């Protein structure tokens, strides 16, 4: 019997020792393309992505391309995304595709293969998914992550204000929906805890939240948006991630991308921000 693949959580821990725990986004929206002096077209998209790759590939632990900004250009945009993901991964950078997919049955299986399948041109190290059709409906992507040692981040308690009311609704046991999602992920990661490993499955929890879910039993990675332009800082990350800091990866996008278009400036801003979130040697 072949050995189980290294978990995505353990891979994150390893790369964080060298590169820190920062996740940086690649968000080529129209306004930012213009701010960089680029056209809002496929050539501008490709040049924006090339500069981000040059700045981040050998410095960031985790890079998160926002799929929507590529998808809007159709097949040509996806071709740029494929090249961006592949080049980042070849440089030893872990990539989470920010696709936020969520469906049921064979459709979810299709999404799983698209982002985590060995033969997919979009193959990433992890993908974001929405559990609001039920965590169980995500079984195809969760199972493929376990088979391959790749990661899945479930949206649990996001930083956008529109979601707070929905995610704060309680179930029959008095748990908020966001906490129930965290708890279900923790249950799926429990076998890895018993083996002394971090799990493949993680959650997205906003750094701006005043009442976040408890993460102490998660044993998986936490992607934490809201740092930087949205107002949260290192102290907010420490408050929410107390006890699970080694697996918590704050996401900063706008605050770094606004320092472009020069590659050196992008790289310097990333390195400076990552210094606030060092990795933990094991």
Q: Which residues pair with 64 in a beta bridge?
A: 25
- Which of the residues 64, 100, 176, 258 is marked catalytic? 100
Confidence of residue 3 (pLDDT cuts 50, 70, 90): low
What's the confidence (pLDDT) of residue 1?
43
Give the pLDDT score at 237.
Answer: 95
Q: Kindly report the backbone phi and psi dihedral angles of residue 119, in degrees, each rounded to the nearest multiple of 5, phi listed first.
A: -100, 5
Average pLDDT, the chain: 95
**Which run of H or E residues covers position 246?**
none
Sign of CA dihedral 268, 226, 141, 17: positive
Q: Give per-residue burial for 204-237: e unless 16+ CB within 10 Å, then b.
A: bbbbbbeebbebebbbbbbbbbbbbebebeeebb
Rounded to an integer, the average pLDDT of 64-74 is 98
Mean pLDDT calculated for residue range 159-163:
84
User: Residue 13: which pLDDT band, with cuts at 50, 70 and 90?
Assistant: very high
Active site annotation includes 100: yes
Report the percent of the chain where pLDDT is more than 90: 90
Give yes or no for residue 282 having a pLDDT over 90: no
Q: How many residues does the chain have?
A: 282
Looking at residue 228, its pLDDT comes to 78
State residue 281's pLDDT score.
Answer: 87
* Distance between CA atoms of residues 173 and 60, nearest Å: 40
Q: Average pLDDT of 86-106?
A: 97
The answer to whether residue 30 scores a pLDDT higher than 60 is yes
For the whole model, what pTM was predicted?
A: 0.96
Structure confidence at residue 172 (pLDDT): 87
CA angle, corner 185, sides to 179 and 187, nearest 5? 105
What pLDDT is stored for residue 148 in this prediction?
A: 97
- Res 159 pLDDT > 90: no
Residues 6+ apart with CB under 8 A from 58: 91, 92, 93
The string of pLDDT tens digits covering residues 180-230 is 999 999 999 999 999 999 999 999 999 999 999 999 999 999 999 989 767
Contact 100, 129 (CB under 8 A): yes
CATH number for the segment(s) 8-271: 3.20.20.70
- The larger pLDDT score, comparing residue 162 to residue 178, is at 178
* 280 touches 245 (CB < 8 A): yes
What pLDDT sits at residue 232?
A: 84
């Amino acid at each position: 019997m072949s050995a189980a693949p290294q978990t995505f959580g353990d891979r994150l821990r390893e790369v964080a020792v060298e590169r820190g725990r920062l996740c940086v986004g690649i968000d080529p929206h129209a306004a930012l393309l213009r701010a960089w002096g680029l056209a809002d077209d496929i050539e501008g998209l490709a040049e924006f992505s090339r500069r981000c790759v040059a700045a981040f590939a050998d410095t960031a632990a985790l890079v998160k391309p926002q799929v929507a900004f590529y998808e809007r250009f159709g097949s040509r945009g996806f071709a740029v995304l494929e090249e961006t993901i592949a080049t980042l991964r070849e440089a030893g950078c872990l990539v989470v595709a920010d696709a936020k997919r969520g469906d049921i049955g064979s459709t979810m299986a299709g999404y799983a293969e698209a982002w985590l399948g060995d033969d997919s041109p979009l193959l990433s190290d992890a993908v974001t998914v929405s559990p609001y059709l039920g965590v169980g409906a995500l079984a195809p992507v969760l199972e493929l992550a376990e088979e391959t040692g790749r990661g899945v981040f479930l949206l649990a308690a996001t930083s956008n204000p529109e979601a707070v009311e929905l995610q704060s609704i309680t179930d029959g046991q008095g748990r908020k929906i966001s906490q129930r999602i965290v708890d279900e992920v923790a249950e799926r990661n429990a076998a890895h805890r018993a083996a002394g490993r971090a799990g493949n499955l993680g959650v997205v929890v906003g750094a701006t939240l005043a009442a976040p879910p408890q993460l102490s039993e998660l044993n998986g990675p936490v992607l934490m948006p809201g740092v930087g332009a949205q107002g949260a800082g290192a102290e907010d990350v420490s408050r929410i991630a107390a006890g699970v800091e080694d697996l918590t990866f704050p996401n900063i996008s706008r605050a770094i991308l606004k320092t472009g278009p020069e590659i050196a400036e992008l790289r310097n801003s990333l390195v400076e921000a990552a210094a606030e979130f060092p990795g933990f040697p094991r």
